Structure 1
């Protein structure tokens, strides 16, 4: 299985920190934020990773290089400007092959065991199941939540839990989207949910959204304990 890390965001809420440093390269402990994902993906056996970028993309490529520092191989999907999540994924599809792949937001810190995504990918068939989402308890800054999870492991378009920005997708979910065109992920997921094609799991471990300078400081404190 391949994985994609979303790293194209501008990080407006974290300016001026992100004026000269792309958000995924901000430090949390001994690693840039994205480095923790690369490390944990490698430990889970996921060695081929696609990273998209837009803002300060050359800095991302210069720092991560080919990924050997983390035991992975990185392919890059540059975007002249951020294409939203689905647009970025659709553009990167030629690098992701024609089988299910994992996608992780580059601006979260988590100890989620990525090996679970490999098992989830094996259950996506492009017909009955198009996506598998990791959901978490609602953080204070997103108290309303996004989706709900039923007893059979199906995800529904009703508030209840928060989408963690970690998922596995079948390429068929993005059928019809044009590469290099902005497109949001949520409408695709909601349409698939309405057809019963999205499964999920509730993760209760560490998940920390790094969306502000204060939350970056908190992520840094958490990651220092991992050193």
Structure 2
């Protein structure tokens, strides 16, 4: 599931006329950065929730086939992160599923992070598995860390400890955690805390550059980060300034 229903207030005035997930970074919308990552991980169907200027997102994904898009319409009421998932549970099914935010993305170094997340998932001891990154690998993040991670991957709140890690806006969750939950506005944070108390919240640190875009000022920083990573990758592979370019 892709959480794309937010109002994007901090991105104004850009979001006066478009929903935040359609803001482009390096020629690609934030939404497509996320959907491309899901496609690379082999996801065949993605549920995208919509609320603000929903018709623009619906039109944007209409022809997408990898993954196929199912719209979860929250036009009548914005349900926040957890409420939106609860509303979409009939489409998500009974097995564990990916959840990603539509305003963050990443460029992997090596094996795709969502593939690694899937390989790390163990439903017998986990209810939620978060993708994490460190401060040095993040662009656009300015609010400290979220979790401290034990050697076995178990998580607890960091309370801003600089030795902690950041939730990178992607996770695997099992639908059992939403049993009897209302399709009303409420946040995923409560589920994180419940899983911590049960010893069932775990994390996996991604490898690569993680980028969050919260305000207009973050757009050039994000584009510079993408350009820097891609240029470094191309140089490493020899496609820039290499012998084949002579």
Q: TM-score, normalised by structure 1?
A: 0.89
CA distance in 2, matches of 1:177, 1:97: 15
Correspondence 1:201 to 2:204: yes
For 1:74, the equivalent position in structure 2 comes to 69
Say how many residue pairs are matched: 217
Correspondence list, 1:162-173, <5 A: 162-173=166-177
TM superposition outliers: structure 1 runs of 4+ over 6 Å: none
CA distance in 2, matches of 1:224, 1:59: 27
Deviations 1:127-173 (A, max 9, x none): x3210011221355112x11111011111123322211111000011
Check whether the contact 1:28–1:221 (CA below 8 A) recurs between aligned residues.
Answer: no
Aligned pair partner of 2:186 in 183, 188, 192: 183
| CA RMSD after TM alignment | 1.8
CA distance in 2, matches of 1:166, 1:30: 22
For 2:47, the equivalent position in structure 1 comes to 50
Unmatched tracts of structure 2, length 5 or more: 232-246
For 2:147, the equivalent position in structure 1 comes to 147
Unmatched tracts of structure 1, length 5 or more: none
For 2:107, the equivalent position in structure 1 comes to 111
Correspondence list, 1:22-101, <5 A: 22-68=19-65, 71-79=66-74, 80-101=76-97
Q: TM-score, normalised by structure 2?
A: 0.82
CA distance in 1, matches of 2:41, 2:24: 22
Structure 1 residue 66: Cα displacement: 4.4
Check whether the contact 1:30–1:223 (CA below 8 A) recurs between aligned residues.
Answer: no
For 2:234, the equivalent position in structure 1 comes to none
CA distance in 1, matches of 2:96, 2:29: 27
**Higher mean Cα deviation, 97-106 or 204-213?**
204-213
- SS in structure 2 of the partner of residue 177 of structure 1: coil
- SS in structure 2 of the partner of residue 8 of structure 1: coil
- SS in structure 1 of the partner of residue 158 of structure 2: strand
Larger radius of gyration: 2
**Higher mean Cα deviation, 213-222 or 103-112?**
213-222
Distance 1:36 1:192, change over 3 A: same
Structure 1 residue 224: Cα displacement: 5.3
CA distance in 1, matches of 2:36, 2:7: 23
